[in-house]
Amino acid sequence: MKNLYFGMLFVLLAALSSCMSSSDRGEVRGVYAKGFKQEQPYGMVYIPGGTFLMGQTDQDVTFAQTAQNKQVTVAPFFMDETETSNAKYKQFVNAVRDSIAITQYLNDDKYYYKPGGKNAKPDPSGKKYINWSYVQKNGVFSSGKGRGKAGAAASANQSKLQAMYYQGDDRIFDRNEIDVRLLKYNYAIMVLREASNNRFDKTKKRSDFILRDTVPVYPDTLCWLNDFSYAANEPMVQGYFSHPAYLNYPVVGVTWRQVRAYTVWRSRYNDAYKDSRGIPHRQLYELPTEAEFEYAARGGRIGNDYPWGGPYAKNSKGCLLANFKPGRGDYASDGGAYTVSVHSYFPNDYGLYNMAGNVAEWTASAYDESASTFVHDMSPTFNYEAKASDPEVLKRKVVRGGSWKDIGYFLQNSTRGYEYQDTAKSYIGFRCVTHFLGRDIKDKRSNY
């Protein structure tokens, strides 16, 4: 029996080998690829595609009529269940900080990948790639209090990194504090709309449609004072982004350009993990369009005023359902004088927290008062890549959801607002989306 078993196994392996090495006999069989299974990104919820009436409903009690109603369709996507927290944004800031420290100050080969094998040669272009696994295990900034080789290495790092700290009269009590003006992120992305608009222009090159930007990444913590006249918000300036007590609070003080830089970094961070395991990339992380934001905020309900339904901002027990300004000078009766944790209050029917209140949120869409009249009814959005020389009116980006300092009107699903792309506010944050690959999850033939 044993010999028979091995004999059958040998025949089976031979047959499989023959099939794999055989010719396709001149028949088109398609390109071979590993099977792909849609995954649910960490911290995100699935938003099924669908059709909805975008804009004010019949219960627009303020009769604002700032945009016409329009029936539109949105494709399925994934959305962060909460606003981006200080903890997540700080991971981005720390990655930029460590990258600058390694490439511009340390120049130590132990932080880079080493070519494998005996005969391996360095990259002919001279490029070196940071070994982030090593960085995560060993760190870059250290107190140097360890013993032996580890302590000596940490002390050596400290002396090399001294130039990254504030110098001279900028120091307080001779503390080592990172000069946040040095923390800048360089990136490049394709502007596909520009490429589409100029696809027949033979004078254009691919590089004409590549946007390259360098963005300071540290939040503007002074926004807590800039946004309010004669308000004692110094404790928020000093602790909101830096103190661990606020790690799970929404990041604020970030401009639209900083937020886009974060989405690029987050995409590359995930791509690097996928590349290390030979897994296909997911779609890029992006800001939601204003149509996606409104559709997700409605939670699958029809004609609702708020993410929880409405028409009131209180439940049957009289409890406020979001963090906003419910009365004149009254900020605290909803449970928070400023922002609150990103998991506060009940989520809407899609499982999304704080789609109204807490912080208003940047979207990918440019603001135009009449956008509803000219955008398409399939995945509508109006995008404009504003240049530095453009007038300020072209640098407006749509902001949705209302914030802790806004009255109830701005919490309505249909309310549109805007802010200028280079401004940072104490009441504007963001969350990301990534788009679904393949069929809708509701399709039973999907591999999800």
| 239 and 385, same domain (yes or no) | yes
Asked if residue 6 is part of any domain, the answer here is no
- Report cis status (omega within 30 of 0) of the bond before 311: yes
| 293 and 415, same domain (yes or no) | yes
Question: Cα 85 from chain centroid?
Answer: 11
Asked if residue 196 is part of any domain, the answer here is no
User: Of 269, 226, 254, which Cα lies nearest the Cα of 399?
Assistant: 254
pLDDT of the residue at 228: 95
| 176 and 49, same domain (yes or no) | no
Rounded (10°) CA dihedral 205, 209, 212, 217 = -170
Q: Quote the DSSP letter at residue 113.
A: P
Asked if residue 370 is part of any domain, the answer here is yes
* Kind of pairing between the strands at 433-435 and 210-216: unpaired
Note the pTM of the prediction, 2 decimals. Answer: 0.89
| 173 and 71, same domain (yes or no) | no
Is residue 437 within 8 Å of residue 36, measured between CB atoms? yes
Rounded CA gap, 106 and 85, in Å? Answer: 30
pLDDT of the residue at 154: 62
Q: 216: which strand partners?
A: 184
Tokens of 76: 């399925």
| 298 and 166, same domain (yes or no) | no
* Per-residue pLDDT tens over the stretch 278-290: 889 999 999 999 9
pLDDT of the residue at 316: 81
| 246 and 176, same domain (yes or no) | no
| 428 and 376, same domain (yes or no) | yes
Residues of the chain where predicted confidence (pLDDT) is lower than 70: 1-22, 57-67, 116-123, 142-155, 439-448
| 359 and 294, same domain (yes or no) | yes
| 70 and 140, same domain (yes or no) | no
| 297 and 166, same domain (yes or no) | no
Structural domains counted in the chain: 2
pLDDT of the residue at 444: 45
CATH number of the domain residue 434 falls in: 3.90.1580.10
Kind and range of the H or E run holding 239 = helix 234-239
Q: Quote the DSSP letter at residue 281.
A: P
pLDDT of the residue at 61: 55
| 172 and 299, same domain (yes or no) | no
* Per-residue pLDDT tens over the stretch 301-343: 988 999 999 788 998 888 999 999 998 999 999 999 999 999 9
- Spatial neighbors of 221 by CB under 8 A, at least 6 apart, are 237, 238, 240, 241, 242, 253
Q: Which domain holds residue 356?
A: 36-85+219-255+288-448
- Spatial neighbors of 358 by CB under 8 A, at least 6 apart, are 83, 250, 322, 323, 339, 340, 342, 344, 403, 404, 429
Asked if residue 4 is part of any domain, the answer here is no
Asked if residue 280 is part of any domain, the answer here is no
Which of 137, 159, 182 is the endpoint of a domain? 182
Is residue 293 within 8 Å of residue 402, measured between CB atoms? no
Q: Which amino acid is at 147?
A: R
| 307 and 443, same domain (yes or no) | yes
